[in-house]
Amino acid sequence: MKTMKGPALFLAQFAGDEAPFNSWDSITKWAADCGYRGVQVPSWDGRLIDLKKASESKDYCDEFKGKARENGVEVTELSTHLQGQLVAVHPAYDTAFDGFAVPEVRGNPKARQEWAVKQVMMALDASKKMGIGAMASFSGALAWPYVYPWPQRPAGLIEAAFDELAKRWKPILDHAEDCGVDVCYEIHPGEDLHDGITYEMFLERTGNHARACMLYDPSHYVLQCLDYLDNIDIYKDRIRMFHVKDAEFNPTGRQGVYSGYQNWVDRAGRFRSLGDGQVDFGAVFSKLTAADFDGWAVVEWECCLKHPEDGAREGADFVKAHIIRVTEKAFDDFADSGTDDAANRRMLGID
């Protein structure tokens, strides 16, 4: 067994235009002050990182990591959630997702998709230069509008969507192999990869690609009423990244999984700060540890009630309390009788 690393913090929800959240130097100092030992970096945020420079310059990457280390944290992974989303966009979401891209490709789905692929490729190059073995992303979605259809889906619709999704991602995954970096898809509603079945459909179409891995986040499974502990047992060999995020699901006679178009505060299913929701993190950390997960435990703060800075500081302590320092010996070693093969055979009555 191995001891996982942490706590780390995903910076996407904290980066902003006011200090200390508006520069790489100041936000890493703040994260360290909150008790974090690592940070996961949103690669689209120019206030924190110049992705193009990072993809081209080892010196820039060394300076980037060096500044973080000087301030007390390690760079755990880069994230391409927003760019990955744009690798596959159903036309119904063109307007909603256009803001994820640079202005010059907005309103042009083909140019936007090409830009997104280049962005994800650059993040893989940057990860390699930083010596990081995993990158977080979203799969994007072509089939999501038909997840619960009326009228019924025509035959072959979903198969065609996943064929196309795999076709778009296969060159990226091949580049990830060249870089020695796993692409860890966050299994997430709104993405075509939103549960285990859809992940398997994608995996099959990419030839069980070694770099098509998982980002495990139990909060998204709570809101789907999916068994988040069994999920670890099933996919432990593919889970290469871990978002520590809490959630709760409290259905009523008026709303359930779909939550009646309500805002986050009024939904039956909602994200919460660590410890305020329903995820059994004692069991989650135990299963991941038993499965030899030795990556980072990365807090992703999302809560409709608590202030983000309070959630961040509490989250660091929460993760520290849950990381299991693995044992190097069995608890009953004191009772070892020192038997050997011959003694074992006698105990079994074997001549």
- Residue-wise pLDDT tens digits, 12-62: 999 999 999 999 999 999 999 999 999 999 999 999 999 999 999 999 999
Q: How confident is the model at residue 343 (pLDDT cuts 50, 70, 90)?
A: confident
The packing angle between helices 281-290 and 228-235, to 10°, is: 10
Query: Once rounded to an integer, what is the mean pLDDT over residues 134-157?
Result: 97
pLDDT of residue 327: 81
Place of tokens 């999501």: 144
User: Residue 317 carries which DSSP code?
Assistant: H
pLDDT of residue 332: 65
Mean pLDDT of the chain: 96
Query: Once rounded to an integer, what is the mean pLDDT over residues 250-272?
Result: 97
- Full-model pTM: 0.95
Query: Once rounded to an integer, what is the mean pLDDT over residues 301-315?
Result: 97
The whole-angstrom separation of Cα 12 and Cα 9 is 9
- 200-235: b (≥16 Cβ within 10 Å) or e: ebbbebbeebebbbbbbbbbbbbbbeeebeebbeeb
3-state DSSP call for residue 17? coil
Amino acid in position 196: G
User: Residue 104 carries which DSSP code?
Assistant: G
3-state DSSP call for residue 51? helix
Q: How confident is the model at residue 339 (pLDDT cuts 50, 70, 90)?
A: confident
pLDDT at 124 over 80: yes
The whole-angstrom separation of Cα 80 and Cα 11 is 12
pLDDT of residue 333: 67
- Distance from CA of residue 42 to its chain's centroid? 12
pLDDT at 338 over 80: no
Place of tokens 């709570």: 222
Tokens in use for 84?
């990955």
Residue pair 175/141 in contact by the 8 Å Cβ criterion: no
Residue pair 247/305 in contact by the 8 Å Cβ criterion: no
Q: How confident is the model at residue 329 (pLDDT cuts 50, 70, 90)?
A: confident
Residue pair 9/273 in contact by the 8 Å Cβ criterion: no
pLDDT of residue 347: 87
175-218 pLDDT per residue, tens: 999 999 999 999 999 999 999 999 999 999 999 999 999 999 99
The whole-angstrom separation of Cα 96 and Cα 231 is 31
As to burial, measured by CB atoms within 10 angstroms (0-12 exposed, 13-18 middle, 19+ buried), residue 154 is exposed
pLDDT at 262 over 80: yes
pLDDT of residue 344: 86
pLDDT of residue 37: 98
pLDDT at 335 over 80: no
Domains, the chain, with CATH or none: 5-347 (3.20.20.150)
Q: Which percentage of the chain shows pLDDT scores above 90?
A: 93
Query: Once rounded to an integer, what is the mean pLDDT over residues 240-253?
Result: 98
pLDDT at 121 over 80: yes
Q: Which of 10, 27, 8, 9 is nearest to 18 (CA)?
A: 27
pLDDT of residue 328: 78
pLDDT of residue 188: 97
The whole-angstrom separation of Cα 247 and Cα 262 is 16
pLDDT of residue 102: 98
| Bridge partners, residue 78, by sequence | 41, 135
